[in-house]
Amino acid sequence: AQRVTQPEKLLSVFKGAPVELKCNYSYSGSPELFWYVQYSRQRLQLLLRHISRESIKGFTADLNKGETSFHLKKPFAQEEDSAMYYCALRGTGGGNKLTFGTGTQLKVEL
């Protein structure tokens, strides 16, 4: 079974402060991990995938297989980063099914 845990339902930071959104996963094989972002009442958009190892909008995430984590980080939060962030996992079987975490609402305050 594949499971994704995002322990924080809400994370509130001040503008300019560092951000870390936590994500832990459970999967017996080699998963692929993603971060999706949903701005208020909009569609989910792909933010990052671990295999591409890129930085989007200043966000980065590193897959740590030892700790089974894929935390999302940004050194300096901006007001426009306020959104819902979902971590997701795709296993090697099961028809390309993405299992999502419960999401973390990031609020960046001035």
Which of positions 54-93 make contact with another protein (CB under 8 A)? Answer: 84, 86, 90
CB atoms under 10 Å from CB of 92, counted, come to 11
Q: Which residue has the tokens 């897959």?
A: 63
Q: How many angstroms separate the CA atoms of 36 and 103, rounded?
A: 9
Provide the mask over 16-55, with x wherever binding to another protein is found by CB under 8 A and - wherever it is not.
------------------x-------xxxxx--x------
Tell me: does residue 15 bind another protein (CB under 8 A). no
Residue 55, φ and ψ in degrees, nearest 5: -115, 125
The binding site for another protein (CB under 8 A) comprises: 34, 42-46, 49, 84, 86, 90, 94-100, 102-103, 105
